[in-house]
Structure 1
């Protein structure tokens, strides 16, 4: 059986997914360089990254407002760019009756 691999944050059909957010958070905390898209990573690799990101968020209660200024600025820059790109490609954050 072929092992499932992640397509990469830049190749996701839906740009604002939990997996993409894990990768963005890894960029925020410096766990991964911002050039790392995780393309070709196994599910186990993504799971391990999730654990590292969760541990990095713990001192801040998983709240952006509790991040120190440098991390808060990096978070804002990364997520603003992601949302802008996603909206330009048709993403709508509003939930509809099927969500």
Structure 2
């Protein structure tokens, strides 16, 4: 049985707009990880640990970007706007596929 490792946000599908990519991006926003950390090669246990930290960081804001303080909201808008633009440039369509 082989263990699956995360490919890294820079190599993730849909410009990193996947569940794992969003965890990494949110970790950057909250300062849990430096923006240079792609999480390439991280195993599922390490990604789960990161998810738990990100989840806890979102809790005071009810998991809503609109409730973030201005500095975090600006970072959120910047990171996600860049990700959406990159995803669209690589052919991503925001319409859900039949498999989604």
Question: Shorter-chain TM-score: what band?
Answer: over 0.9
CA distance in 2, matches of 1:2, 1:94: 33
When the two structures are superposed, what TM-score results if normalisation uses the length of structure 1? 0.93
- Where does the alignment leave 5 or more consecutive residues of structure 2 unmatched? none
CA apart distance, 1:84 = 0.4
CA apart distance, 1:97 = 4.7
Structure 1 counterpart of 2:23: 22
CA RMSD in angstroms, aligned pairs only: 1.3
CA deviation string 1:7-61 (max 9, x = no partner): 1111113331011000000000000011100001011010000000000000000
When the two structures are superposed, what TM-score results if normalisation uses the length of structure 2? 0.92
Matched, 1:11 2:15: no
- Counterparts of residues 1-99 of structure 1 (less than 5 Å): 1-15=1-15, 16-99=17-100
List 4+ stretches of structure 1 deviating above 3 A. Answer: 96-99
- Where does the alignment leave 5 or more consecutive residues of structure 1 unmatched? none
CA apart distance, 1:4 = 1.8
Number of matched pairs? 99
SS in 2 for 1:10: coil
